[in-house]
C-alpha cells in the first residue's frame, strides 16, 4: 500500500484496534486490492469513503446466561455486528464457537458487505455469534443457550432490519430453536431468519447452497482456462455444512474428493471418500471425522491440520475456518501439484499463503466471491417469505447457478479492467467496492 490516504486510514485503524488481528487482516487485504481504484478517485478522501466503510454502523454485545444439564448457570458473550446497511437489511450468519470475539465478528461482517454486494441482491453486511462451544453439549443445553441468545438478539433484528442465518456451529437445528424463540416473543413472520427448516419457512436448497455454489464458482474458474472437473483430485478441509455439500457436488460432477477434516485431524482416501459414511458420522450422529477409518480400511487418519500433509491433488477447497492455511502449507500445496484454490470458508488462507498462490500463478477464488452462494440463497429465502411463495429445489438451484456465474464474471471483468491477470481476489474486491462507493456517494453523508 503506497497511497497516502489509504496508509493514513490503515495506520489509524491498526493503532485503535491493535488487538483485532483478523479484522485488520481483512481490511489490509481489501485496501491492498482496491488501491488502483483509490488512485483513480482522489475525491474519495474528502468524502471519507474509507473511514466510513471500515467503521461498523453499530456493534451490539451482550450477556447470554443459561443453565446446563447439571443445573449450573453458565454465561457466554453474544455479538451482532451491524456493519453496513446501504444495500438492504444487515445480512450474515451467526457463529457459535469458543474462538468468537469482536475481531472475528468484525472481520466476518466486513467481508459480508462486499460478498453480499456481489450477489446483486438487496442485502447489507452483518455477522453475529457467541463464544459458546456446542461440542459435547446435549440437545437440551444447545436449546437453552440458543433461546437465551435470541431473547436478547431479538431486540435488534427484523425482516427489514437485520436477518441472521447460520455459520460455524449453527445449522438448521439452532436456527429452528432461534426462530421458535423469536416467534414466541414477537409473533412475527418468518423473514427474520434464513436457513430455517423447510416446514418453518426455509428455502429449498439453502442447506446445500454454500457448498454447491462453491463448486459452481470453481467450474467457472476451470472453464475460463479450458479445464474441467472430470477426474480431478480435490482436497477439501472441514466436514461441516460447506465441506460436505461441496464434496457432494464435486463428486456429482466427476471430481475425486480425497480428503476431509475437523478440528482434531484429517482423513485421506486415495481413491475417493465415501460420502454416505461421512453423512452418517458427521451429519446424522454429530461425530468426529476420525470414525471414518473404522468404515473404510483404505483410508488414513492424521492428527492435526490437513494442510501439513503431502497429498497429490489438483484442487484445494478450504472449507473449515479462517487462517487455516499458512505460508508454508500453501507452498506444500504448490509443491504437490495444486493448480486451483477456491475458498468455501471465510478468509481461510493467511495473507502470506495467498501471496504464495499468486507468485506461483495458481488460480485463486477468494471466499468473498466463491462462498457467496449461501447468502445468495438466504436472500432468495427472504424473497420467498415476503411473497409467501415456495420455489422448488430446481428453481432455487437454477438461480444459484446464474448468481455464481455472474459473481465470477464480475471478478474476472474487474481483474481484466485493471490488467491483473486472473486475480479474482482483487477483481472481487474492486467490483464490489466500486459498487458500494457509488452507493455511498448517492446516499450522502451517512
Ligand X SMILES: NC(=O)C1=CN([C@@H]2O[C@H](COP(=O)(O)OP(=O)(O)OC[C@H]3O[C@@H](n4cnc5c(N)ncnc54)[C@H](O)[C@@H]3O)[C@@H](O)[C@H]2O)C=CC1
Active site residues: 127
The verdict on 259 binding ligand X (CB under 6 A) reads no
Smallest gap from Cβ 229 to ligand X, in A, equals 20
In terms of CB distance, is 166 or 427 closer to ligand X?
Answer: 166
In terms of CB distance, is 3 or 432 closer to ligand X?
Answer: 432
The verdict on 168 binding ligand X (CB under 6 A) reads yes
16 among annotated binding-site residues: no
Count of beta carbons in the 10 Å neighbourhood of residue 153:
23
Candidate list 111, 262, 314, 397; residue touching ligand X; CB under 6 A: 262
The verdict on 241 binding ligand X (CB under 6 A) reads yes
Q: Crossing angle, helix 393-417 and helix 424-443, to 10 degrees?
A: 90
Instruction: Looking at residues 285 to 314 of the shown chain, list those that interact with ligand X (rule: CB under 6 A).
Output: none
Question: Pick from ligand AKG, ligand X, none: which does 241 bind, CB < 5 to 8 A by kind?
Answer: ligand X
**Nearest position to ligand AKG, beta carbon:** 93
Q: Which residues pair with 63 in a beta bridge?
A: 77
The verdict on 374 binding ligand AKG (CB under 6 A) reads yes
Furthest CA-CA distance within the chain: 64
351 among annotated binding-site residues: no
- Spatial separation of the C-alpha atoms in residues 171 and 418, rounded to whole Å: 39
355 among annotated binding-site residues: no
Question: Pick from ligand X, ligand AKG, none: which does 429 bind, CB < 5 to 8 A by kind?
Answer: none
Q: List, as own/partner pairs, every contact residues 277-280 make where C-beta atoms lie below 8 angstroms and the sequence separation is at least 24, other chains included.
A: 278/239, 278/244, 278/247, 279/244
Closest C-alpha to 178, from 163, 241, 266: 163
Which residue stretch of 20-28, 316-324, 327-335, 372-380 sits at the interface with ligand AKG (rule: CB under 6 A)?
372-380
Question: Pick from ligand X, ligand AKG, none: which does 194 bind, CB < 5 to 8 A by kind?
Answer: ligand AKG
**Nearest position to ligand X, beta carbon:** 240
In terms of CB distance, is 50 or 376 closer to ligand X?
Answer: 376
- Spatial separation of the C-alpha atoms in residues 15 and 18, rounded to whole Å: 5
Query: C-alpha cell of 125?
Result: 453486511
Smallest gap from Cβ 235 to ligand X, in A, equals 13
Count of residues that interact with ligand X, criterion CB under 6 A: 23
Our CA dihedral for 135, 137, 142, 148, rounded to 10 degrees, sits at -100
- Spatial separation of the C-alpha atoms in residues 21 and 102, rounded to whole Å: 10
Closest C-alpha to 306, from 350, 261, 273, 343: 261
Q: Are 273 and 299 in contact (CB under 8 A)?
A: yes
Q: Which residues bind ligand AKG (CB under 6 A)?
A: 91-93, 115, 165, 167, 194-195, 346, 374-375, 378
Q: Which residues bind ligand X (CB under 6 A)?
A: 166-169, 210, 238-243, 261-263, 319-321, 324, 344-346, 371, 374
Amino acid at each position: 500500500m503506497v497511497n497516502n490516504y489509504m496508509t493514513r486510514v490503515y495506520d489509524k485503524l491498526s493503532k485503535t484496534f491493535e488487538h483485532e488481528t483478523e479484522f485488520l487482516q481483512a481490511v489490509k487485504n481489501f485496501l491492498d486490492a482496491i488501491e488502483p481504484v483509490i488512485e483513480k478517485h482522489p475525491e474519495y478522501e474528502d468524502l471519507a469513503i474509507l473511514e466510513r466503510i471500515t467503521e461498523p454502523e453499530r456493534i451490539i454485545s451482550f450477556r447470554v446466561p443459561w443453565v446446563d444439564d447439571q443445573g449450573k448457570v453458565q454465561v457466554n458473550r453474544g455479538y451482532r455486528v451491524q456493519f453496513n446497511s446501504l444495500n438492504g437489511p444487515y445480512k450474515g450468519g451467526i457463529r457459535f464457537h469458543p474462538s468468537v470475539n469482536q475481531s472475528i465478528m468484525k472481520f466476518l461482517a466486513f467481508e459480508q458487505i462486499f460478498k453480499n454486494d456481489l450477489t446483486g441482491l438487496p442485502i447489507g453486511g452483518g455477522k453475529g455469534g457467541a463464544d459458546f462451544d456446542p461440542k459435547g453439549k446435549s440437545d437440551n443445553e444447545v436449546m437453552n443457550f440458543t433461546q437465551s441468545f435470541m431473547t436478547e438478539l431479538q431486540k435488534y433484528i427484523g425482516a427489514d432490519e437485520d436477518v441472521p442465518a447460520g455459520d460455524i456451529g449453527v445449522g438448521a437445528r439452532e436456527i429452528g430453536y432461534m426462530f421458535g424463540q423469536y416467534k414466541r416473543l414477537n409473533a412475527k413472520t418468518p423473514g427474520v431468519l434464513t436457513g430455517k427448516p423447510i416446514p418453518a419457512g426455509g428455502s429449498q436448497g439453502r442447506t446445500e447452497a454454500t457448498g454447491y455454489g462453491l463448486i459452481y464458482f470453481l467450474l467457472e474458474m476451470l472453464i475460463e482456462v479450458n479445464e474441467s472437473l472430470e477426474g480431478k483430485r480435490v482436497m477439501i478441509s472441514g466436514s461441516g455444512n460447506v465441506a460436505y455439500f461441496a464434496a457432494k457436488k464435486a463428486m456429482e460432477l466427476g471430481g475425486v474428493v480425497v480428503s476431509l477434516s475437523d478440528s482434531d485431524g484429517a482423513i485421506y482416501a486415495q481413491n475417493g471418500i465415501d460420502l454416505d459414511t461421512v453423512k452418517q458420522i458427521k451429519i446424522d450422529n454429530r461425530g468426529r471425522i476420525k470414525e471414518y477409518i473404522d468404515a473404510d480400511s483404505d483410508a488414513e487418519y492424521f492428527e492435526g491440520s490437513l494442510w501439513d500433509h503431502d497429498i497429490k491433488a489438483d484442487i484445494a477447497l478450504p472449507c473449515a475456518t479462517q487462517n487455516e492455511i499458512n505460508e508454508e502449507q500453501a507452498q506444500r500445496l504448490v509443491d504437490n501439484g495444486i493448480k486451483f484454490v477456491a475458498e468455501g470458508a471465510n478468509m481461510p488462507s493467511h495473507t502470506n499463503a495467498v501471496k504464495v498462490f499468486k507468485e506461483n500463478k495458481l488460480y485463486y477464488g477468494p471466499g468473498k466471491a466463491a462462498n457467496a452462494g449461501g447468502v445468495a440463497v438466504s436472500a432468495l429465502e427472504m424473497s420467498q417469505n415476503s411473497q409467501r411463495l415456495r420455489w422448488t429445489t430446481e428453481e432455487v438451484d437454477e438461480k444459484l447457478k446464474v448468481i455464481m456465474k455472474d459473481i465470477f464474471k464480475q471478478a474476472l471483468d474487474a481483474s481484466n479492467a485493471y490488467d491483473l491477470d486472473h486475480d479474482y481476489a482483487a477483481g472481487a474486491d474492486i467490483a464490489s467496492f466500486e459498487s458500494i462507493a457509488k452507493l455511498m456517494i448517492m446516499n450522502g453523508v451517512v
